[in-house]
Amino acid sequence: MADSRSASVVEEFLPAPYPAPLFVAWEQHLDFGEVRRPARKRLTFKVSNIGGDGNLDVTLRPNIPDQQWFQVRPTHLVIPAGEDRIVDVEIDTSLESCPLGRHDLDIQVEAPGSMEPEIPRIRVSVEVLREIVLVCDPGEIDLGEVPLGESRTVTVSIQRSDEREVCLNERLIQLVDETGKPRPAWADIELGAPGRKQEVTLTFHTANRAMREYRCELRLCDTVPEVNQVAVPIHVSVSPPPQLEVEWAIPPMPNFTGDTQDAQLAVGNSGGGVLRGRIAGDQYWLRVLNGEFSVAAGQMHTATVRIGDARLRVGTYHGHLEIFSNDGGRSRVLRVPIELEVVDRSRCPVEIYFEPDLGALHRRQTAERALTITNLMAQPFEGRLISGSPDWIRVKGGMEEVRLGPGESRQLLLEVDPRRLPAKDGPTRHKAALQLVDSTGKERWKKTATLELVPAPSSPLVRLLLAFWALVLLAGLAWGGKQVYDGPVQRILSARTRAATVATPAPAPAAPPAQQQAATARPAPAQPAPESQSAPEATEKPRRVAPDSARARSLYAEGTAHFQRGEWRLAADLFDQAAAVDPAPAGSLLMVGRSRYHLGEWDAAAKALEEATRLKPDSAAAHLWLGRVYLEQGNREAASREFEAALKADPMNRQARDELQKLR
C-alpha cells in the first residue's frame, strides 16, 4: 500500500507514459536515532525505475567511503523499467573507527540515464552513544595460596559505566572453570543490596580439592544480560595444609628457686599456607608472652615462656602449654607438659667443677688449673672467689668477681706459683682454702686445694741421670715396638703393651701391703705383646668426660640456634659436644640425628638415633626420626617398626601415623 501511494504521488507530477527511464528514491532521509556501542543497526529504502523501456544504471556512494562503520549495499544497481530494488544502509558502532556523538551523513545517487539528471542526496543521521558496561573493582581476584581444608573470602564491588543503579541478576550468576564448565560447589556467592554500587562476596572452599592451581571465572550480569555483563577472572592455588612443629629454643631449667625464669618455645610451619594460633599456659605460674602467632611455610615464631611465681613453695609442680592452631587444616590443640621442681633458697645456687688435687710441682714450676662455675638458678648470680693463700694460688688476671646469668657458665683459671712457699729438703704438702661468696657475703662453696712441693733437681749428677734416662726413653720410642727400659724395676716392656696399659680406663684396686711386698720381691718377666693387640685398638675407645649438665645445656642451646638457621653442620658438632658431657644425652643425641639427617649423613644419623632410642625407649621423636632415616636407607620394614614404636610412645603423634599410611 505504501508503494502504491508513493507511485501515485509521483504520477501526479510526471506525465505518462514516460519515454525514458526515470529514477525514484522513496526515502529522502534515514534517521537511525541513538545507537549504543557495541551495536549494529540497519535501515532499508527502495529505489525504482518508473520510466519507459530500457534499464537504468544507478550508483550509490556514501560521503565517507573509507569508513567501514557506515556501509551501503549494493552500491551499483541495474533497474529494468517498472521494477524496484532494495538498498541496505548499516551503522556498526562496534568498530573502533566509529566515533561517538551525532553524525549527519548522506548518500550520493548517480543515474546517468534518468530523465531527471539532478537527483538529491539521501540524508542519513545517527547518534552513537557510549557503551554501558559493568565495572568490577578489583578487575581480577587473586586469592593466593589457600591451605587444603580452609576457605578464603573476598569482596568485590560492581558499578555501571553510566553511573546508574546496578541490580545484578542473581539467577544468572555463574562460576565456571577454565573450560567454561559451571562449578557451583567451589564457592558461595552472596549479593549485596542494589544501588549505585553493588557488592559481591565470594567464599572459595578448598575442602576435597586437589592441591593444584585453579583458574576460574565469575560471570555477572544485570537485568539486560545480553548487553550489560562482566567476567571476573579468579586465580587460587590450593597448597598443603600447615604442619605444626614445636621445639625448645631455650629449654626451661629444671631446678628453680621461686623467682621467674624465661624459656623460649619455637613454633614452626613445616607444611604450606599460614599456621595461625596462640600459646597459653594452664597454670598461674606458667605465662606466655607474645603467644599469638602467624607463621608462613618454612618460617618459625619464638614465644617467651615465663615460668615461676614468688608464691611457689618447695616441691614439684606440673603444668601444660596449650598450643591452639590450624595444624593440618583443622582446629587442634597440642599440650606440652612442663615439670618444675622448686628447691630451697638455702641450697647452693651454683655448681662448681674443680679438681682440688693440684699434683706435684717443684719450686721453679708454675701451673694453671681450671675452675668452672655454672649458675643453676633462674636468676642472675653475683659473687667473688676468694683464695685463702693468694701468695701461691690465685685467680689469673685478678678476675675474682663472678657474674652469671640464668643457666650461664664461666671458667676461671687459677695460677699456681709455689716460689713463695718455704723451702724444705723433702716433699711437703700445702693446702689453700678456696671460697665462693655471693653478693651478700654468704658462703656458697668451699673447697681445699692441695699441692705437693717436691725438691727441684739441682745436683749435676741428678741432671746427668735424668738426661740419660731421657735418652733411653727417646731411643725406645724411636724403635717403636722394640724393648724399652721402664723405671727402677727394670721391666722390659713392648711399646705397644705400654700404650695398651696406659689406655686402660679403670685401674685395678690397690693390693694389700703384704701382696705389694711379694710382688716387689718376685718381679715377673715382661711378655712382649702379640702384634694383633695394637695400640690404636685400645686408644680408639671414647674418652670419658666428666658429666657437666650446665655445659651440656649451654651447648644444646647454641646448637639449637644454629639448627633453627639451617646451619646443620655447626648444629651437629655442638650437639655432639653436648652429648659428650650430658649426664642424660638422649635429647642431644636426638638433635645429632636430626642434624645429620638434614645433611644426608644417614649412617651417622642412624647411629645417634639408635643410641637415643636405647637410652630413652619412650621417646616418640627419636623413633620417628630413626624411622625416617631407615626410610632414606631403603629399609622400609625397620622404618615401619620405628613409626609403630613412635605411635606406641605417643598415640597422638600425627606425623608417625602419616608416615605409616604412606608406607602402606
CATH code (residue 577):
1.25.40.10
Specify whether the CB–CB gap between 575 and 597 falls below 8 A. no
Residue 525 lies in a domain: no
In DSSP terms, which residues pair with 175 in a beta bridge?
Answer: 218
Specify whether 450 is located in the same domain as 461: no
Cβ atoms within 10 Å of 298's Cβ, excluding its own? 11
CA terminus-to-terminus distance, the chain: 89
Residue 492 lies in a domain: yes
Higher per-residue confidence, 406 vs 26: 26
pLDDT tens readout for residues 391-410: 888 888 776 888 887 777 78
Specify whether 29 is located in the same domain as 86: yes
Higher per-residue confidence, 160 vs 592: 592
- What pLDDT is stored for residue 476 in this prediction? 62
Binned at pLDDT 50, 70 and 90, residue 27 comes out as confident
Specify whether 125 is located in the same domain as 144: no
User: Using CA atoms, how far apart are residues 623 and 593, in angstroms rounded to an integer?
Assistant: 11
Residue 509 lies in a domain: no
Residue 198 lies in a domain: yes
Domain-ending residue, one of 100, 129, 158: 129
Specify whether 149 is located in the same domain as 91: no
Specify whether the CB–CB gap between 387 and 422 falls below 8 A. no
pLDDT at 478 over 80: no
Specify whether 355 is located in the same domain as 450: yes
Domain-ending residue, one of 239, 263, 278: 239
Specify whether the CB–CB gap between 318 and 339 falls below 8 A. yes
Q: What rounded mean pLDDT belongs to the chain?
A: 79
Considering just the CA atoms, what is the radius of gyration of the chain in Å? 50
pLDDT at 309 over 90: no
Q: Give the strand pairing for 300-307 and 315-325.
A: unpaired
Higher per-residue confidence, 298 vs 473: 298
Binned at pLDDT 50, 70 and 90, residue 12 comes out as very low
Mean pLDDT of 614-626: 91
pLDDT tens readout for residues 361-391: 877 778 888 888 888 776 788 899 998 888 8
Specify whether 40 is located in the same domain as 70: yes
Residue 563 lies in a domain: yes
Specify whether 193 is located in the same domain as 254: no
Backbone angles phi, psi at 401, to 5 degrees: -70, 135
DSSP string, 170-188: GGG-EEE-TTS-B-GGGEE
For residue 620 the three cell numbers come to 616418640
Specify whether the CB–CB gap between 201 and 159 falls below 8 A. no
pLDDT tens readout for residues 28-48: 899 999 888 888 899 999 988
Mean pLDDT of 474-495: 43
pLDDT tens readout for residues 89-116: 999 988 888 898 999 999 988 888 787 7
Specify whether the CB–CB gap between 190 and 201 falls below 8 A. yes
pLDDT at 10 over 60: no
Specify whether 415 is located in the same domain as 470: no
Specify whether 441 is located in the same domain as 467: no
pLDDT at 168 over 80: yes
Please report how the helices 620-632 and 602-615 are oriented relative to each other, as an axis angle in degrees rounded to 10: 150
Specify whether 118 is located in the same domain as 150: no
Specify whether 144 is located in the same domain as 112: no
In this structure, what DSSP letter does residue 259 have?
S
Mean pLDDT of 637-644: 93
Residue 27 lies in a domain: yes
Specify whether 106 is located in the same domain as 27: yes
Residue 541 lies in a domain: no
Cβ atoms within 10 Å of 145's Cβ, excluding its own? 16
Show Cβ contacts of residue 633 under 8 Å, excluding neighbours closer than 6 positions: 602, 606
Residue 512 lies in a domain: no
- What pLDDT is stored for residue 457 in this prediction? 60
pLDDT at 539 over 70: no
In this structure, what DSSP letter does residue 223 have?
S
Residue 387 three-state SS = strand
Mean pLDDT of 218-232: 76
User: Using CA atoms, how far apart are residues 502 and 484, in angstroms rounded to an integer?
Assistant: 15
- What is the pTM assigned to this prediction? 0.39
Residue 631 three-state SS = helix
Q: Give the strand pairing for 40-49 and 23-25.
A: antiparallel
Instruction: Tally the domains of the chain.
Output: 6
Range(s) of the domain holding residue 555: 549-663
Q: For residues 453, 459, 464 and 469, what is the CA-based torsion angle, rounded to 10 degrees? A: -20
Binned at pLDDT 50, 70 and 90, residue 644 comes out as very high
Least confident of 255-259, 306-310, 353-357, 455-459: 255-259
- What pLDDT is stored for residue 180 in this prediction? 86
Domain-ending residue, one of 395, 421, 454: 454
Query: CATH number, domain at 428?
Result: 2.60.40.10
Specify whether the CB–CB gap between 659 and 640 falls below 8 A. no
